[in-house]
């Protein structure tokens, strides 16, 4: 099917949520990124994650779940802020994930339990709408709402959520919730949905139901990723390729700067609008539907017609698209040294041209890149806070730890890092469905 993910939702639906920060700070306080155990009623559950989720769900609702789905987080390797220009992106699913457990009810009640924070929310199918006070539950409610919009029907549900994706730092935690919920519903009710429809539903649950200025690429990668691979996506055509990304000498390191989350939506929106204005200028000399259709040479020919700040914004998008194409080739050749250098150049452009970095991220990237054994590093996510990604040999970790201690002394934030392994796609990990109900 053809999916126009850029289509704007109805205004009445967007008006329910003008600022996303409140939810983004809470969606996923439910995710305790560095914990391998869950405390339910004073009982610590460890071991098999499926059995853990079954026990948690049964403890809360008095019945085992019929379905459990799992969706990974996602990291953007290259292609930051190219999606709005129909560009290219390379992403990888990560081995931190969200789990959703569901059992059916015989009434129309919807009950939600965030296991990692012991918080409960409830509503009914008839009253399924965005509510600010429901915070994290809105991401699940949005998926249910979009299923109903597609014509699917169901009665009440008991839903449990748990995960270990660090929130608010650009690892696709909310997208993982959406995809995991959509996959669980599709399996539970045997709905006839294609993969791209699952992606679309998860995307609309954020962009339309909640009003977040999110991109489809996270949901796409989460659904179509393969283990030890990266996903190359052409945003214009939705053509994609799974590229082997099995790291041996190098490790993929994600470092959380722990800079407080800020609402960058308006800042990013201003940059996108400025790029769209520049597109009109560029079209006076050469026709194109997005910045993807232009080159550095085209930009140079428009000097004098664009402000310097506008030119640099466009330059980032044009160069970043080319970096993605170059990076795809280098990953295919397993040339991780060259790929690392692209990470460095991407960060320089995000810092100097698109201007979405911050001193803390710049410091982390610079200090990582100085270490012998680090092929490259850059900020990840929309900007102004969040995390960095680095390709680094394991024998460099001791030196990196020293740099992070220095970071703490300078900035007052304690940075944390973890080794990330490219993971497989979202999937159903447990099913015990009675089709006679």
Active-site residues, by number, are 218
Of 193, 213, 188, nearest to 203 by C-alpha is 213
Of 163, 178, 172, nearest to 33 by C-alpha is 163
Question: CA torsion 78→82→86→91, rounded to 10°?
Answer: 30
d(CA 93, CA 176): 10
In the numeric block, which tokens belong to residue 239? 């053509």
d(CA 305, CA 320): 22
Of 365, 363, 79, nearest to 240 by C-alpha is 79
Rg of the Cα atoms in the chain: 22
Of 168, 156, 198, nearest to 69 by C-alpha is 198
Q: Is the distance from CB of 345 to CB of 320 less than 8 angstroms?
A: no
In the numeric block, which tokens belong to residue 420? 């990330």
What are the Cα distances from residue 252, in Å, to 192, 226, 247, 420?
37, 16, 8, 5
Write the DSSP symbol of residue 379.
Answer: E
In the numeric block, which tokens belong to residue 162? 């748990």
Q: In the Cβ-directed half-sphere of 32, how many Cα atoms lie within 13 Å?
A: 11
Q: Residue 154: which residues within 8 A CB-CB, separation 6 or more? A: 104, 125, 147, 185, 189
Q: Residue 111: which residues within 8 A CB-CB, separation 6 or more? A: 61, 105, 120, 121, 122, 156, 157, 158, 159
């Amino acid at each position: 099917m053809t999916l126009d993910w850029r289509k704007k939702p109805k205004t009445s639906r967007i008006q329910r949520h003008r600022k996303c920060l409140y939810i983004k700070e809470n969606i996923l306080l439910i995710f305790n990124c560095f914990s391998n155990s869950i405390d339910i009623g004073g009982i610590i559950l460890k071991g098999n994650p499926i059995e853990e989720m079954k026990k948690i769900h049964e403890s809360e609702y008095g019945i085992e779940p019929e379905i459990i789905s799992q969706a990974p987080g996602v990291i953007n390797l290259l292609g930051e802020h190219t999606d709005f220009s129909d560009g290219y992106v390379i992403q990888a699913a990560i081995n931190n994930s969200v789990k959703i457990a569901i059992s059916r009810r015989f009434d129309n009640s919807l009950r939600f339990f965030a296991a990692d924070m012991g918080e409960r929310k409830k509503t009914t199918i008839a009253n399924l709408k965005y509510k600010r006070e429901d915070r994290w539950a809105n991401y699940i409610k949005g998926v249910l709402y979009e299923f109903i919009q597609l014509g699917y029907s169901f009665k009440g549900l008991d839903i449990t959520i748990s995960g270990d994706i660090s929130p608010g730092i650009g690892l696709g935690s909310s997208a993982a919730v959406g995809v995991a919920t959509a996959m669980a519903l599709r399996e539970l009710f045997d709905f006839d949905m294609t993969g791209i429809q699952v992606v679309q539903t998860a995307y609309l649950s954020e962009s339309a139901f909640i009003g977040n200025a999110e991109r489809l690429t996270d949901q796409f990668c989460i659904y179509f990723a393969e283990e030890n691979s990266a996903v190359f996506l052409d945003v214009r055509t939705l053509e994609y390729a799974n590229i082997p990304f099995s790291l041996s000498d190098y490790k993929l390191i994600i470092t959380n700067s722990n800079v407080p989350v800020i609402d960058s939506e308006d800042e990013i929106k201003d940059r996108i609008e400025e790029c769209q204005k520049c597109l009109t200028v560029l079209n006076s000399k050469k026709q194109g539907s997005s910045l993807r259709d232009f080159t550095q040479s085209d930009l140079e020919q428009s000097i004098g017609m664009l402000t310097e700040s506008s030119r640099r914004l466009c330059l980032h998008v044009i160069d970043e698209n080319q970096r993605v194409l170059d990076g795809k080739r280098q990953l295919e050749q397993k040339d991780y040294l060259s790929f690392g250098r692209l990470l460095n150049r991407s960060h320089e452009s995000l810092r100097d041209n698109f201007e979405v970095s911050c001193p803390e991220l710049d410091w982390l990237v610079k200090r990582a890149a100085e270490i012998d054994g680090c092929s490259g590093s850059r900020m990840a996510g929309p900007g102004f806070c969040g995390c960095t990604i680095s390709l680094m040999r394991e024998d460099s970790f001791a030196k990196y730890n020293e740099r992070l201690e220095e970071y703490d002394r300078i900035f007052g934030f304690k940075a944390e890092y973890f080794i990330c392994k490219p993971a497989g796609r979202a999937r159903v990990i447990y099913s015990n469905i009675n089709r006679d109900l």
